[in-house]
Structure 1
Amino acid sequence: MSPLEATPSSPDAIVSVRGLSKHYKSGLQALNKVDLEIRRGEIFALLGPNGAGKTTLISIICGIVNGSEGSVHVDGHDIVHDYRAARGLIGLVPQELSTDAFETVWATVKFSRGLFGKAPNPVHLERILRDLSLWEKKDSKIMALSGGMKRRVLIAKALAHEPRVLFLDEPTAGVDVELRHDMWEMVRRLRESGVTIILTTHYIEEAEQMADRIGVINRGEIVLVEEKHTLMQKLGKKQLTLSLQSPLAAVPEGLSEWPLDLSDDGQCLTYTFDTQGNDTGIAMLLRKLGELGIDFKDLHSSESSLEDIFVSLVRGGV
């Protein structure tokens, strides 16, 4: 057992990944010694570009793909040695719209519950279908449903056996705005009931709105895991842009202590600073501008978005 595998999980971790690697005979290294803990009851967003290893990581945790090295535990159950118990705690909504086209909505959701050895519970299944606006379609064959409705069926199947951990792999890719809104409302209710949510998404604004913590994966390695608000504070930038009354040929020497950029036409000065920084620098800058006789007619402030931070992390700029 490696030192990583021997490291105990945090008491509040429901998913614990230690030293996880995945490599193929072709030489492709999909994951490289990934360490990750998902806390009980949180919404965790896993972000990364295409091919970064998001789906591979989820597939290993869910027992669909075997890892090459390392270990995965779900609520204390080893995903390999105690597969049935670990898998029974997990619900997975995959990217692909793959389900039995000739079954009815009710039959396929009922069957999914039975696969995990759960006793019939029509009240629970009805509640899921109603939450997903599928109740009126319960007797419809899946082949007759729209793409958005089929996506709802996948979510219903994942929730049928009452999992404690729900993986949403690009759940809103290509779906309509109404479904996206309904889905996130349901995700919030699930989290309130104690279900842990792990999602991957290309819509970074969703992660910014929904997630408690953010993880970034790139080239098979975890680049960063951080509380969302802490991440925004630590890695975000603020900018103050001043529109000048008269253009400048260059930034005056008297302003050298501030990181200022002058626009090509000399009409705008931009001051960039960390979100954790002390904003007293702005007051000092404005006072200095007055002393130098530099007047401005307008000012505008802006702040980094999560997307800006993500792009910077993936490019290695932070």
Structure 2
Amino acid sequence: MDFKNLTVLGSGSWGTALAQAFASRFENIFIWGRNQQIIDEINKNHSNTKYLPAVALKENIQGTTDLKFAFDKGDIVIVAIPTQFIRQTLERIDYTVDKPVISASKGIEIESLKLISDVIAETIKINKKLVFALSGPSFAKEVAAGLPTAVTLAGDLEIGEKLQSILNTENFRLYLNEDIIGVQIGGAVKNVIAIATGASDGLGLGNNARAGLITRGLYEMTKVAKVFGGKPETLYGLSGMGDLVLTATGDLSRNRTFGKLLGKGLSVEKALQEVGQVVEGIKTVKALKKIMEKENIELPISDVVYRVIYENLSPIEAVKILMNRQPKKEEL
């Protein structure tokens, strides 16, 4: 495979940051987005001030609103658009795809309860060996600034090694993992746990509470991974524990910020407005609620996050529910 051009679907902070991170490794980077104003700014000013202010984009990055043009141009395609819009976007690609497609989005499709790799494989005509997932502790702002970042690339190892060699940069390091299921579960569920830790911090409950939520949240992530057929041990790596710690404690986290605002007393609507960007955990927790009911499993933290967002449970009542659960043996 000859990798000269890279296409990134998604002109938000994450998609733009990935384009910037990989710009040194390709002749051309194409960013696809629906917002004409953002695309025009990328092309005219080499910037995306709405999502990554103060970042000067590399000269070989160009934007387009033409999905098929962007998809055709890339020798590798990275999907970095909100999870719930991926299917309807990729349905417009009505031909056989013979190139790697990497999901960098994090979530579970609510209607089907499918992972993004499965949505990609279902929606476009592609060999499953060409579908990958990229996940790990990686704030867009820091990636775009060229700060050191390590993530996981999950999928077929033979093709993955070729992708690893081209995508690795001085500041962006990829580790390979075959467990594409576990890697995606980590990236999805950690957003819900980050909302919980944010709410805890917003309530002023301290470091002990935050550490407890992170640790028990990791256990919930492993339970969901098992349901989907992933390996629990995958969640102890970059795409699980690494991403969870970052998102649950870092102030650049949209999910944590959203939760923190809820803890401080803002409504869901006002907190969302304050964040000003997509908060994936809001959608993911709806999928987790359906999984709890379908599989008859307990995910106590995810359950109270769902009730806070969709059933008007107050964050302080959510804490009482968690702390007053029946005492039990610690399971790992």
The question of a shared fold, defined as TM-score above 0.5 by the shorter chain, is answered with no
Higher RCO (CA-CA < 8 Å; seq separation 6+): 1
- Structure that is richer in helix per residue: 2
Question: What TM-score does the superposition give when structure 1 sets the normalisation length?
Answer: 0.23
Structure number with greater Rg is 1
Question: What TM-score does the superposition give when structure 2 sets the normalisation length?
Answer: 0.23
- Structure that is richer in strand per residue: 1
